[in-house]
Structure 1
Amino acid sequence: MTAKKTRDIRVRRVYEEPATADGSRVLVDRIWPRGLSKEAAALDEWCKDVAPSTGLRTWYGHDPGKFAEFGRRYRAELHGDATHENALGHLREVAGERPLTLLTATRDQDISAAAVLKEELERR
């Protein structure tokens, strides 16, 4: 009997100093973080195809009262078209191979698209 490997996925702000435990550092925002150089971000990749649509992001506006509905709509986007599904599949592969840190510029990570994405990646 083989033990199921638990995925090591975390969410951090892209502005924080990189940590050795980060594993693959992937920016999952559609827009590049303001005032941050590519060198300072220390990314392994920028996966903007997994980010919420501009319309959904604008509607949400990081309003805590809309987070549950935002999560529902974002999950529908993640599974609603090939571009999102392919990006999500790619991140699943990365998470299956090594630790994965989802990076976002959002101040409140608990109500961010990256938090929804983390839950979705851990689900399967």
Structure 2
Amino acid sequence: MKGPKQVQCKRAYDELSKDDGYRVLVDHMWPRGVSKEDLPLDAWKKELAPSKELHQWFGHEPARWAAFYQKYHKELREVPEALDELLETSAGGVLTLVYAAKDREHNNAVALKQYIDDLIT
């Protein structure tokens, strides 16, 4: 499958890097305390964020991580057009999934990266 050569995750509060490539916010809500002018993005893909119900159930509880990403991956399979568009747009380059969560290991961007990595490898 065609897609980016590299996928990485970055908090919305992290500094911009020249190596970020195509930057996409993958949260339903805009990050708190950040103006739209201060967050350089190429796209905001709300349709790739977990459902409100799943997000609330998860609550960024590490103990729920495995169940969360499995349920989230199921949701992602229901929006193939949005995912295909993202993969096509970022093909051959670096894709940076931008998120707002404090937990750098247990969040929707990390779960989305896992899903994309499985698709393109």
* Equivalent residue, structure 2, for 1:33: 31
Structure 1: gaps spanning 5 or more residues: none
Name the count of aligned residue pairs: 118
TM-score (norm 2): 0.91
- 1:107 CA drift (Å): 1.0
What's the Cα RMSD here? 1.6
> In structure 2, what residue type is equivalent to 1:99?
V
**Aligned residue runs from structure 1 range 49-60, under 5 A:** 49-60=47-58
- Equivalent of 1:100 in 70, 95, 116: 95
Of 69-78 and 86-95, more deviation after overlay is shown by 86-95
Q: Greater relative contact order: 1 or 2 (C-alpha under 8 angstroms, separation 6 or more)? A: 2
Task: Give 1:100 deviation, angstroms.
Answer: 0.7
Distance 2:74 2:111 in 1: 11
Answer yes or no: is the 8 Å Cα contact 1:29–1:105 preserved in 2. yes
Aligned counterpart, 1:68? 66
92-101 or 42-51, larger mean C-alpha shift: 92-101
User: Once the 2 structures are TM-superposed, how far is the Cα of residue 23 of structure 1 from its aligned partner?
Assistant: 0.3
Q: Cα distance, 1:94 vs. partner? A: 2.7
CA shift digits 1:39-58 (9 cap, x unpaired): 11111110110000000000
Q: Structure 2: how far apart are the matches of 1:90 and 1:97? A: 14
Residue by residue over 1:26-78, the C-alpha shift from the partner in whole angstroms, topping out at 9 and shown as x without a partner, is 00001111111111111111011000000000000000000000011001111
Q: Which residues of 2 match residues 37-48 of structure 1 at below 5 A?
A: 37-48=35-46
The aligned residue for residue 111 of structure 1 is 106
TM-score (norm 1): 0.89
Counterpart CA distance in 1 for 2:4 and 2:34 is: 32
Greater radius of gyration (CA): 1
In 1, Cα distance between equivalents of 2:107 and 2:4: 22
SS in 2 for 1:30: coil
Q: What's the % identity of the aligned pairs?
A: 40
Q: Which structure 2 residues correspond to residues 9-28 of structure 1 after superposition, within 5 A? A: 9-28=7-26
Gaps of 5+ in 2: none
CA shift at 1:109, angstroms? 2.1
